[in-house]
């Protein structure tokens, strides 16, 4: 079965829905680029700086070990190589690099994944950047055939809950993880903003 999308080169070694993780994704009519994370020293240093900020990490970090720089760096390096994860630095045309948006647990057969977002530069919170970054990511993965995206959010994380409620979500609570709410976004029920025109640059 040939799953190549028109105009997009094939990249060997990744399942088709994950090939998008190797491209810089640009919204030609918007201020954001999603740049794949790499061994770039600046990207690594920013990632550590953002995740060490207790306000950013409050609902973002899943374990106390995530506040140890060496563990943050290890998780970062693992995300570059993992075949079920796709992580991008969010680069804004006015503000520069401001955070990360990513998919984890990508299932290329069921074509679903978990989405995560961290706007690490607190000075740019509440400017619509988190929402725009998730829009670009979802539009990108939809082009690559992804069907459903889920978000798992701490029930006290109001900014994140408000952000994901802007999508056509169904909601449920996991039986054993009571402090989290789960949102499911069927991408067939969501279309990117009409002004959005994506470029994929390898």
The SS3 assignment for 105 reads strand
Q: Is 166 in the site for ligand COA (CB under 6 A)?
A: yes
| CA separation for the pair 34, 182 (Å, rounded) | 24
Q: Tell me how far, at minimum, the Cβ of 84 lies from ligand COA, in Å.
A: 18
Q: Is 158 in the site for ligand COA (CB under 6 A)?
A: yes
User: Cβ closer to ligand COA: 9 or 162?
Assistant: 162
| CA separation for the pair 189, 13 (Å, rounded) | 30
Q: Is residue 134 a contact partner of residue 149, using CB atoms and an 8 Å limit? A: no
Q: Is residue 72 a contact partner of residue 92, using CB atoms and an 8 Å limit? A: no
> Residue from 130, 140, 142, 167 that binds ligand COA (CB under 6 A)?
130
Q: Is 101 in the site for ligand COA (CB under 6 A)?
A: no
User: Cβ closer to ligand COA: 36 or 130?
Assistant: 130
Q: Is 173 in the site for ligand COA (CB under 6 A)?
A: no
- Assign residue 100 a region: left if phi > 0, alpha if psi is -120 to 50, beta otherwise? beta
| CA separation for the pair 48, 71 (Å, rounded) | 9
Binding region for ligand COA (CB under 6 A) out of 3-11, 52-60, 80-88, 193-201: 52-60
The residue ranges that bind ligand COA (CB under 6 A) are: 56, 59-60, 116-119, 125-131, 153, 157-160, 162-163, 166
């Amino acid at each position: 079965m040939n799953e190549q999308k028109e105009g997009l080169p094939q990249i060997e070694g990744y399942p088709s829905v994950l090939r998008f993780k190797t491209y810089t994704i640009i919204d030609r009519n918007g201020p954001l680029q999603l740049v794949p994370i790499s061994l770039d020293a600046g990207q690594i240093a920013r990632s550590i700086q953002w995740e060490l900020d207790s306000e950013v990490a409050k609902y973002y970090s899943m374990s106390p070990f995530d506040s140890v720089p060496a563990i943050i760096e290890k998780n970062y390096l693992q995300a570059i190589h993992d075949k079920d994860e796709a992580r991008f630095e969010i680069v804004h045309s006015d503000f520069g690099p401001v955070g990360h948006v990513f998919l984890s647990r990508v299932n290329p057969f069921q074509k679903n994944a978990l989405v995560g977002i961290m706007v690490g530069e607190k000075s740019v919170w509440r400017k619509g950047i988190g929402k725009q970054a998730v829009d670009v990511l979802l539009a990108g993965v939809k082009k690559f055939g992804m069907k459903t995206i889920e978000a798992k959010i701490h029930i006290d994380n109001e900014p994140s809950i408000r952000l994901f409620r802007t999508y056509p979500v169904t909601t449920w609570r996991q039986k054993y993880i009571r402090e989290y709410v789960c949102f499911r976004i069927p991408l067939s029920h969501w279309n990117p903003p009409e002004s959005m025109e994506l470029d994929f640059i390898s």
